[in-house]
Structure 1
Amino acid sequence: MIDRQHLRIVKAIQTHGTMTEAAKSLFLTQSALSHAMKKLEHEFDVPLWQKEGRRLILTQAGESLLGLAQRILPQFEHTESQLRRFAQGKQGILRIGMECYPCFEWLLKIVAPFLKAFPDVDVDVRRAFSFGGLQALHGYDIDVLITPDPLHLDAITYTPVFSYEQVLVMHNDHELGDKAFITPRDLVKETLISYPVERSRLDIFSQFLTPANASVKSHKTIETTEIILQMVAAGRGVTALPKWLVEESKECESLIYRSLGEKGLEKTLYVGHRKQSDTLGFIDSFVAMAIEQGKQAKRTE
């Protein structure tokens, strides 16, 4: 019978590559690790790994077991974390994955009332670019995913919460400020400043420049919104950001923006969450608060 220890072992083997390091990471002796897996191999009459020098390589059967480990172990950890918090008298923790760098400021407008409404629930926010938002949500590493580009999966529900326009931002003396809107060819001599995200996930490339077979003179990446806007205000380049974010920026007096294309580049922000019932209620409440915040933002435009 497959048990949790088998899953932990096969995951450790995949991660560390040797029996010595895998056993050390699990606080087991090598003999105990080897005995547990040999017993499972004997039960199913199939090898789970093979040696290549000092390293252990999973067989096809081992890879199948690893897939189960990657799906099941995060669910164990999630439930155990919740149980520990219940024992401490706390309701839980809401883990939010972000796939929208500039939307962090928007998220803060929801987190404050959420924490007030749920004093026994903590909030943890993670940048989802580094680990894959959809995979993290499906694997119980996060509880909700905030993304402008939903990748649909049967087990996940996406709720639209906020629509906005992505605009080109430049310093207020920029020559492109004389144009009614920006065309892809207008940017061929420009330095574009963006967040450190692959081009395929940047709207200004995937939905504006690349379809027109156009590009920019150079492309720089910066982690924080504030520094990007300061660089643009200083005339070091242009950037593409949500219009609402530019209007709320401390640098707004030094900046102007124009629509990307005659019709503009419209985006919608979604909150993704697993379809299973929210037994504690606070995930559904977070989604409801996000929808309300989106309505308020629309009313102030």
Structure 2
Amino acid sequence: MMLDRIHLAIVQEVDRLGSLTAAASVLHVTQSALSHSMKKLEQQLGTDVWLREGRSLQLTQAGRYLLGVANRVLPQMTLAEDRLRQFARGERGALRIGMECHPCYQWLLKVVSPYLAAWPDVDVDVKQKFQFGGIGALFAYEIDLLVTPDPLFKPGLIFEPVFDYEQVLVVAGKHRLASASYVEPSQLTGEVLITYPVTPDRLDIYNLFLTPAGVTPKRHKVIETTDIMLQMVASERGVAALPRWLVLEYASKMDVVPVRLGKEGIAKQIFLGARESDVGIDYLKAFIELAREPAAPNGAQSIG
């Protein structure tokens, strides 16, 4: 066969590492063997895969196409091998979950614990590096489920809503807005808004509340962890926007209060996304059903 798996792996590693030497080391082959393999492929194809520019290699148009194929095909082959090994060991499989929202991890723990008890032969792996890039990870077979409040409905994918939640403003108990029944966008012009490290165009507080009203906060501060964010809010260092249920959980431990965003509030949903071809898999379907259970929090976590 002209094109083999090793060719795809070589192109992928050379693109990632920038040199034949580094790629050869990772792939556990000699540099001369690697070079020979690729030269033979180029001769059979009748086109160059890359060109040398100084000390670096630059992919040609054919090489970039081959890299795209490698990025799509290699994860699927790895997954297939893993699944076949699991079958050989009598195991059901592994459920790889990507997170496209920051506080979702805390909700996920509430679902994973009973799920592992119910499915002892299924492993669960949570991949948080796919925050805000989960659709590509689903298509590339790098994850099996995507937890997201903002689904992108594309052919080949299916998104199941698992529960509703309300996005609210979080303020300190002594804050001037703490007793308000709801807040208007203009009331945040003098506030420091604390959010996760996400661009404003991916934040509900901007998209659905501030930006339509032409309002910006006094300052925008970024904090990575929910605990520190709410400690800052409780210390009157700023305000934040989070799911109501999450705020109520923390309200028992620190002095924070949820306030409705606008008279009607901001209603959202958490979705579990999967490849359409996988929705019939029993252990994947069971996870989605468990996530819908009433025991799940009455509300969920958004990227906002």
How far off is 1:168 after superposition? 0.2
Structure 1 window deviating more from structure 2 (131-140 vs 181-190): it is: 131-140
User: Are 2:107 and 2:297, in contact at CA under 8 Å, matched by a contact in 1?
Assistant: no
User: Are 2:111 and 2:296, in contact at CA under 8 Å, matched by a contact in 1?
Assistant: no
Aligned to 1:190: 191
The one-letter amino acid of 1:113's match is P
**Cα 1:256/1:250, change in 2 over 3 Å:** closer
User: Are 1:195 and 1:221, in contact at CA under 8 Å, matched by a contact in 2?
Assistant: yes
Partner of 2:178, secondary structure, is helix
Structure 1 length as normaliser, TM-score?
0.93
User: Are 1:98 and 1:127, in contact at CA under 8 Å, matched by a contact in 2?
Assistant: yes
Deviations 1:139-185, CA, capped at 9 Å, x for gaps: 11111000001122211110111111000010111111243311111
**Cα 1:257/1:30, change in 2 over 3 Å:** same
Aligned to 1:63: 64
Aligned to 1:254: 255
Which aligned pairs between 1:13-32 and structure 2 lie closer than 5 A?
A: 13-32=14-33
**Cα 1:250/1:211, change in 2 over 3 Å:** closer
Which aligned pairs between 1:48-59 and structure 2 lie closer than 5 A?
A: 48-59=49-60
**Cα 1:190/1:208, change in 2 over 3 Å:** same
Distance, in Å, in 1 between the alignment partners of 2:254 and 2:20 is 61
Distance, in Å, in 1 between the alignment partners of 2:59 and 2:208 is 41
User: Are 1:246 and 1:252, in contact at CA under 8 Å, matched by a contact in 2?
Assistant: no
Deviations 1:105-157, CA, capped at 9 Å, x for gaps: 22222111110110111111122455711111111111100000112221111
**Cα 1:32/1:70, change in 2 over 3 Å:** same
Aligned to 1:158: 159
Partner of 2:136, secondary structure, is helix
Q: 5+ unaligned residues in a row in structure 2: which ranges?
A: 300-304
Which aligned pairs between 1:1-301 and structure 2 lie closer than 5 A?
A: 1-130=2-131, 132-251=133-252, 254-278=255-279, 280-293=281-294, 297=298
The one-letter amino acid of 2:66's match is L
Distance, in Å, in 2 between the alignment partners of 1:197 and 1:50 is 37
Distance, in Å, in 2 between the alignment partners of 1:148 and 1:237 is 24
User: Are 1:11 and 1:69, in contact at CA under 8 Å, matched by a contact in 2?
Assistant: yes
Deviations 1:182-225, CA, capped at 9 Å, x for gaps: 11111111111111222211111122112222111112222221
Structure 2 length as normaliser, TM-score?
0.92
Distance, in Å, in 1 between the alignment partners of 2:229 and 2:116 is 30
Identity %: 50
Deviations 1:29-85, CA, capped at 9 Å, x for gaps: 122111111121111211111010011111001111111000000011112222333
The number of equivalent residue pairs is 298
How far off is 1:293 after superposition? 4.1
Partner of 1:223, secondary structure, is coil
Partner of 2:277, secondary structure, is coil
User: Are 1:96 and 1:145, in contact at CA under 8 Å, matched by a contact in 2?
Assistant: yes
User: Are 1:163 and 1:294, in contact at CA under 8 Å, matched by a contact in 2?
Assistant: no
The one-letter amino acid of 1:264's match is G
Partner of 1:150, secondary structure, is coil
How far off is 1:251 after superposition? 4.3
Partner of 1:249, secondary structure, is helix
Distance, in Å, in 1 between the alignment partners of 2:186 and 2:46 is 64
Distance, in Å, in 2 between the alignment partners of 1:98 and 1:43 is 42
CA RMSD in angstroms comes to: 1.9
How far off is 1:250 after superposition? 5.0
User: Are 1:110 and 1:293, in contact at CA under 8 Å, matched by a contact in 2?
Assistant: no
User: Are 2:245 and 2:297, in contact at CA under 8 Å, matched by a contact in 1?
Assistant: no
User: Are 2:250 and 2:256, in contact at CA under 8 Å, matched by a contact in 1?
Assistant: no
How far off is 1:103 after superposition? 2.1
